[in-house]
Amino acid sequence: MKQALYFTSLVDDIVQCNLCPHHCTIRPNDTGLRRVRKNIDGILYSLVYGHPIAQSIDPVEKKPLFHFYPGSRTFSIATVGCNLKCKHCQNADISQLHEEPNFSTEISPDDIIRSALEQKAESISYTYTEPTIFYEYAFDIAQLAHSKGLKNIFVTNGYIETEAFQQIAPFIDAANIDLKAMSDEFYKRICGARLQPVLDAIKAYVENDIWVDITTLIIHGYNDDEKGLSDIAGFIYDINPDIPWHVTGFSPTYQLTEAPPTSVSMIEKAVIIGKDAGLSYVYPGNRGFGEHTICPVCGKELIRRDGFQVSTNKTLNNSCPDCKARISGIGLDWI
Ligand code: SF4
C-alpha cells in the first residue's frame, strides 16, 4: 500500500481522486470506482503498489508496437484493476474487480528492474490492464528503468488526467493507445467512460514526443460503420499520418458475447479506409495476414513479421534502403 498521488481532501475525511477523468469521490474506508484506491482516515492509498499479478517477457510487437525497436524484448507487468469497464475486455479476470484485493507478497520497483535486466529486456511495458490504475508503482519503476538504460512503454486506454500524465510523460518512451471508437455514446455505453479525454491524451502523448501506435478493436454492429472508422483515420491523420494504426479483430468475450467474431473482410475494409485517409502504416491485427511494414513511397517490404516475430528487417538508418525514404519510428534498425 502506498499513498496515492493526485487526490484532494474534501469535508469529513472524504477525498476526490484526480488521477483519471472519473474523479471519484471516496468516503473513508471505501474504495474508488475500480476498487484499487482506498480512503483510510482521509488519505487515499494505492492498494496495488508492489503487487504485480503478471510479469513476463514479450516481443514488443505483441503490445503492438511496430515502429519502436522492432524485435526487441519487453518485460511486461500489470497489477489488477482498470479505470474502464469495457464489456468486451479480454482480460476481465484481472481488470474487473468486484471486491477489494488482498495481497501477501510485495515486489519492489528494484525487483522489477532486476528481473527485466536478468531477462535481457530492452524495455518495461506497463500492460495487460491499465497502467493508470497502478500509476504510483509505474512511476517509480519507470524512473528506475531510465536510470538503468531501459525504455518504458505504456499500453493504455488513454484515460488519465493531464497533470498526472505530464508528470510521468518524461519517462514514457512509447505507447500503444486504444482508440475504441469515435463515438462518445460507445465509450459511455460499452466502456463506462468518455471519448474526449482519450482524444486529448493521444494528442498529449504525441506533443510530448512519445512514440505512439494506435489500436482499434473492430466489433461488428458496434464500431464498424464506415463513417466511424473514417473519422478515426482522419483524427490520426490530422495529428500525424505516420502514426501506425492497428485495426484488430474482436472475438466474443466477457459481457459482449452476442457480437460475432470480426470477419477478415471487415478488417481488410478498415485497412483500405485507413489508407484512403492518407495513413502511411495501417496494420490488420490478429488475423494472421498483412502485418509487414511496407515503404509508403516505393512499396518495398521492409519489416517482415511472422506472428509476433520479426523475420526480416531491411530498414537502414530508419530509411528504406531502395528509395531512401525516411521510415517513421524509433530504433527501427537497432540490432
Ligand atoms: S484512478 Fe480509480 S479511483 Fe481514481 S478517479 Fe480513476 S477510477 Fe476513480
Using one digit for the tens of pLDDT, what is the confidence trace for 3-33? Answer: 999 999 999 999 999 999 999 999 999 997 7
Ligand 1: residue whose CA is nearest its atom 6: 20
Phi, psi at 155, each rounded to 5° = -110, 110
Which residue lies with its CA nearest to atom 4 of ligand 1? 17
Mean pLDDT of the chain: 96
pLDDT at 277 over 90: yes
**Mean per-residue pLDDT for 229-251?**
98
Distance 12 CA to ligand 1 centre (A): 20
Nine-digit cell string for 91: 482480460
Query: From ligand 1's centre to the CA of 56, what distance in Å?
Result: 26
Atom of ligand 1 nearest to the CA of 32: 3
The answer to whether 279 and 236 have CB atoms below 8 angstroms apart is yes
Residue with the larger pLDDT of the pair 94 and 4: 4
Pocket of ligand 1 (CB under 6 A): 17, 19-20, 22-24, 32-34, 37, 83
The reported pLDDT for the residue numbered 96 is: 84
pLDDT of residue 102: 81
pLDDT tens profile 102-113:
888 899 999 999
Indicate if the pLDDT at residue 161 is higher than 90: yes
**What is the predicted pLDDT for the residue at 93?**
85
Please count the other Cβ atoms lying within 10 Å of the Cβ belonging to residue 299. 10
* 176: Cβ contacts below 8 Å, ≥ 6 apart: 63, 64, 65, 153, 154, 155, 156, 212, 213, 214, 215, 246
Shortest-distance atom of ligand 1 to CA 135:
1
**% pLDDT > 70, the chain:** 100
Provide CB contacts within 8 A for 257, sequence distance 6+: none
- Cα(17) to centroid(ligand 1), Å: 6
How far away, in angstroms, is 233 Cα from ligand 1 center? 29
In this structure, the number of other CB atoms found within 10 A of the CB of residue 116 comes to 26
For the chain, percent of residues with pLDDT exceeding 90: 91
pLDDT at 94: 85
Closest-CA residue, ligand 1 atom 5, reads 23
d(CA 141, CA 52): 12
Q: How far is the CA of 246 from the centre of ligand 1 (A)?
A: 28
* pLDDT: which is higher, 267 or 335: 267
Q: Check whether 300 has a pLDDT greater than 80.
A: yes
Q: Which atom of ligand 1 is nearest to the CA of 20?
A: 6
Residue 283 pLDDT > 80: yes
Mean pLDDT across 234-254: 97
Q: What residue owns the CA closest to ligand 1's atom 7?
A: 83
- Structural domains in the chain? 2-46 (no CATH), 54-291 (3.20.20.70), 292-335 (no CATH)
pTM score, whole prediction: 0.96
Closest atom, ligand 1, to C-alpha of 31:
3
Decide if pLDDT at 99 tops 90. Answer: no
Q: How far is the CA of 105 from the centre of ligand 1 (A)?
A: 24
Choice from 3, 10, 22, 31 to test ligand 1 binding pocket (greatest atom count within 8 A of CB): 22
Atom of ligand 1 nearest to the CA of 22: 5
Residue ranges with strand state E in 70-199: 73-78, 123-126, 151-156, 174-178
Is pLDDT of 45 > 90?
yes
- Give the pLDDT mean for 200-205: 98
pLDDT at 290: 85
Q: Indicate the pLDDT class of residue 230, thresholds 50, 70 and 90.
A: very high
Ranges 30-44, 160-174, 298-312: which has the least confidence: 30-44
- Res 105: pLDDT: 86
Instruction: Report the nearest atom of ligand 1 relative to the CA of 7.
Output: 4
User: CA–CA separation, 53 vs 271, rounded Å?
Assistant: 35
Residues 179 and 202: beta-carbon distance below 8 Å? yes
Lowest mean pLDDT among 85-89, 144-148, 204-208: 85-89
What three-state secondary structure class fits 202? helix
Q: What amino acid is encoded at 206 in this protein?
A: V
The mean per-residue pLDDT over the stretch 175-183 comes to 98
Specify which residues 182 forms β-bridges with.
Answer: none
308 pLDDT exceeds 90?
yes
What is the atom index within ligand 1 of the atom nearest the CA of 26? Answer: 3
Query: Which residues, other chains included, contact 96 with Cβ-Cβ below 8 Å and sequence gap of 6+?
Result: 82, 85, 89, 254
Residue type, 262: T
> Which residue among 45, 83, 159 is best mutated to probe the pocket of ligand 1, counting the most ligand atoms within 8 A of its Cβ?
83
